[in-house]
Amino acid sequence: MSRIGKKPVAVPDKVEVRIDGQRVEAKGPKGTLSVTLVDDVTVEMSNGEVVVAPRHDTRRARAMWGMSRTLVQNIVTGVSEGYSKTLEISGVGYRAQLKGKDLQLQLGFSHDVIHKIPEGIEVQVPKPTEIVISGIEKQKVGQVAAEIRAYRPPEPYKAKGVRYQGEYIFRKEGKKK
Percent of the chain's residues with pLDDT above 70: 99
Q: Are residues 96 and 72 part of one domain?
A: no
In the chain, the number of structural domains is 2
| Cα 39–Cα 143–Cα 151 angle in degrees, nearest 5 | 155
Residue 170: inside a domain, yes or no? no
Mean pLDDT across 145-172: 93
Residues 70 and 89 in one domain: no
Mean pLDDT of 54-83: 92
pLDDT value, residue 175: 87
Same domain, 44 and 30: yes
Q: How far apart are CA 67 and CA 89, in angstroms?
A: 33
* CATH number for the domain harbouring residue 26: 3.90.930.12
- Quick one: pLDDT band at residue 1, thresholds 50, 70, 90? low
Q: Apex CA 57: angle with CA 52 and CA 61, to 5°? A: 50
The CA-atom distances, in angstroms, between 177 and each of 30, 82, 156, 173 are 58, 52, 20, 12
Residues 12, 73: one domain?
yes
Angle at 147 between CA 132 and CA 92, to 5 degrees: 65
What is the tens place of the pLDDT at every residue in 83-138? 999 999 998 999 999 998 999 999 999 999 999 999 999 999 999 999 999 999 99
Last residue of a domain, which of 55, 80, 105?
Answer: 80
**pLDDT attached to residue 110:** 94
Whether 11 and 51 have beta carbons less than 8 Å apart is answered as no
Q: Is residue 52 part of a domain?
A: yes
pLDDT value of position 3 = 84
Residues 135 and 120 in one domain: yes
Q: What pLDDT is recorded for position 59? A: 92
Q: Is residue 88 part of a domain?
A: yes
> Does the pLDDT of residue 153 top 90, yes or no?
yes
Closest CA to 84 of 140, 153, 12, 25: 140
Q: What confidence tens digit (pLDDT) does each residue in 49-61 have?
A: 999 999 998 999 9
User: Which one of 80, 114, 129 terminates a domain?
Assistant: 80
Question: If you average pLDDT over residues 134-156, what whole number do you get?
Answer: 94
CA distance linking residue 118 with residue 152, whole number of Å: 20
Same domain, 38 and 62: yes
Strand stretches in 37-153, DSSP E? 41-46, 49-54, 83-90, 95-99, 102-106, 113-116, 121-127, 130-135
Please give the Cα distance from 99 to 177 (Å, whole number): 46
Query: Same domain for 75 and 120?
Result: no
Order of all β-strands in the sheet with 161-164? 121-127, 130-135, 83-90, 161-164
What is the average per-residue pLDDT within 33-39? Answer: 92
Task: Give me the percent of the chain exceeding a pLDDT of 90.
Answer: 79
Residue 95 confidence (pLDDT): 93
Task: Specify whether 92 is located in the same domain as 69.
Answer: no
Residue finishing a domain among 80, 113, 132: 80
Residue 101 domain boundaries: 83-164
Residues 34 and 103 in one domain: no
Q: Per the domain annotation, does 112 fall within a domain?
A: yes
57 & 123 share domain:
no
- 169: pLDDT strictly greater than 80: yes
Per-residue burial over 76-110, b = 16 or more CB atoms within 10 Å of its CB, e = otherwise: bbbbbebbebebbbebeebebeeeeeebebbbeee
Q: Side chain identity at 87, as an amino acid letter? A: L
E strand or H helix at 16, and its extent? strand 16-20
